[in-house]
Amino acid sequence: MRRATKNGSAAVVVSWLLGGCAGNGVGLDANGEPLVPGAQGSGPLTANFDSIQAQVFTPICTVCHAGANAPEGLRLDAANSYNLLVDVPSTEVPSLFRVKPGDPDNSYVIQKLEGHAAVGARMPFGGPYLSGAVIAVIRQWITDGALPGNSMPASFAIVSLAPAANEVLMEPPAQIMIGFSHDLDINRIDPASLRVERRAGEGAEAPAQSVPVRITVPSANPRALLLWPVQPLSAGHYRVLLRAGAATGLSDIAGEPLPAADSAETMILNFDIEAAP
């Protein structure tokens, strides 16, 4: 899943993964249908993201695909799933997007759910598997453009982070994801507005080393900012710093900047990677 837009053309690259939905069948009956259709007042399963999230991703897929140890780094909780699915390359088959808007056949999530992906097992891992009817709804959502849900804050803000703040990872992440409430102005994204650094020890006085990353904004989801480490991250303490404010910081497509902090840069994320035993 690499560099496609809603229409299959090249994604927006400023300088620039699907493991499947492994849930061991939890949340499904023997026919591959959600155990509680319409749970949480969401009504019957329909071809929109909010419905699929509430009835498939959250109750079934997040049994495995959540938190620091989510397979292939794919977190399918409500806060992160859209930004890690749509127009994001699969780690198992990087030539395919996890979800390619308008093209379910070439969306890796569909290949994993239907059991004909080139790599790995069918998902949910070990079954029971989603029924054809449920997969057809997900297919229809992708065919219709894989549009996001409706609930977003009115003001321009960061709404999701993966890894999460203060998280301890056992494996280096393939990418760092920052999700925003509005579409980004890609012309305001450059090395001066965002950087990643590794600290050799604890505390603010520990020596810091800049980490080279490629920055991507998927064309089909300009609310997601993806940072791709040029080299696999080694064990250590990491943080992501963002320059805010109208003059030099990120803004949404309408020109609204993120709120400026007292200092020139604001740490928006820190996480640790533990050394392999």
- Supply the pLDDT for residue 199: 86
Question: How high does pLDDT run on average in the chain?
Answer: 83
Q: Which helix (H) or strand (E) holds 110?
A: helix 108-114
The pLDDT tens digits for 69-96 are 899 999 999 999 999 999 999 999 999 9
Residue with tokens 């939890």: 26
Look up the pTM and report it: 0.80
What number is the average pLDDT over the span 146-159? 84
Residue with tokens 């006085």: 205
Assess whether pLDDT exceeds 60 at residue 25. Answer: no
CA–CA distance, 70 with 140 (Å, rounded to integer): 26
HEC secondary structure over 22-33? CCCCCCECCCCC
- Supply the pLDDT for residue 66: 93
For 57-66, 107-116, 235-244, 262-271, which range has the lowest pLDDT when averaged over its residues?
262-271
CA–CA distance, 109 with 116 (Å, rounded to integer): 10
- Supply the pLDDT for residue 154: 78
More confident of the two residues 183 and 267: 183
- Assigned token pair, 78: 């409500």
> DSSP string covering 29-61, please?
-TTS-BSSTTGGGT-S--SSHHHHIIIIITTTG
CA–CA distance, 165 with 234 (Å, rounded to integer): 18
Q: How does DSSP classify residue 104?
A: G
- Supply the pLDDT for residue 259: 76
Q: Which helix (H) or strand (E) holds 71?
A: none
Residue type at 84 in one-letter notation: L
For 1-15, 145-159, 183-197, 245-259, which range has the lowest pLDDT when averaged over its residues?
1-15
Assess whether pLDDT exceeds 60 at residue 35. Answer: no
- Supply the pLDDT for residue 226: 96
